[in-house]
Amino acid sequence: MRRPFALLAGILLVGAFTVPASAADGDDGFTIEDPRITESSGLAASRQHPGIYWTHNDQDEGAYLYAVDSSTGRTVATITMTGVGTPRDIEAIALGPDNQLYVGDIGDNDGVVWPYVWVYRLPEPKTLKDQAIRSTQYVVKYEDGPRDAESLVVHPKTGRVYIIDKQEDGGHLYEPPAQLSASGTNVFKRAAAVDLWATDAAFSPDGQQLAVRGYFGGIWYDWNGGDIKRGGRLGVPLQGQGESVTYSADGTRLLYGTEGSGSSVTAEDVPGGDKSSSGGGSSASGDDGDDGDAGSDGGGGNFKVGAIAVAVAAAVMFGFRRLLRRR
């Protein structure tokens, strides 16, 4: 995803503010060292290989996935998806039941014109090495026409695939048909509003919570069987162009990634600092009604930094747009 004013705002914010040490340290975060990965747009924690995170570029020279060892930041396996044609704009990756990887070729930010997008499914390899893996390709359409999206999630219990579209004034959660078909068109239907300009999302390992991030903030929802209920804000770190989020395999951490060469992945406790494997619970941060893209972990200091950052971001976006309109 390349929105110039969002990138400009992110760069200015990162340079203008110093995040408290507890947020900047990142704890279990890591830096992606692979020079091939310059547009990391999705992130998924492996359950089969502890400490491994899957990522991808949004546009690459081929249909590639990368397994990154979080202890070193180095790529330990490159997967080439076969049987899927040439990807257009891969924006998301998620892990479903039975160690199945799902990849969302769902970006459409150049005019929102694609009549359909694609979702790929492949088994996560048991052995981490460079290899080609045949993948299943699903054709996806939306019931209300083409749209840009960067968030794809797979429920860890049911295996159902969901997409959240990307709209500046808030998007929607789209649900799939009962069964995905590899031979026909899969029409996704609007199911619920999402109060965020979403760049990625993730399910907690038990499937009870849905975390959605944007450039400057995030929201967590109680899944509630698909009838999502807004729970509160997420403590999304300030990043140059925040594009990804995943729960750690044990559900105690949320890891946030960004685009760029040598990009950092920052880890934060799940809302409320709950250390159970549920990925959060009733102790999570309450919702004070603010816009979810304001971003806060509920702490006073971080909230003030987040509030100031959003104000500056809004000013930068407004000024940049006015400049573009004058040209």
Q: Tell me the per-residue pLDDT of 111-153, one tens digit each, with 9 for 90 and over.
A: 778 899 999 999 999 999 999 999 999 999 999 999 999 999 9
- How many CB atoms neighbour CB 14 within 10 A? 17
For the cut 90, the answer to whether the pLDDT of residue 30 exceeds it is yes
Share of the chain above pLDDT 90, in %: 69
CATH number of this structure's domain 4-326? 2.120.10
Q: How far apart are CA 99 and CA 83, in angstroms?
A: 19
- Looking at per-residue pLDDT, the higher value among 193 and 279 belongs to 193
| Mean pLDDT, the chain, integer | 82
284 closest CA partner among 301, 293, 297, 268: 297
0.75 exceeded by pTM: yes
Mean pLDDT of 224-243: 94
Q: Provide the phi-psi class of 65: left if phi over 0, else alpha when psi is between -120 and 50, else beta.
A: beta
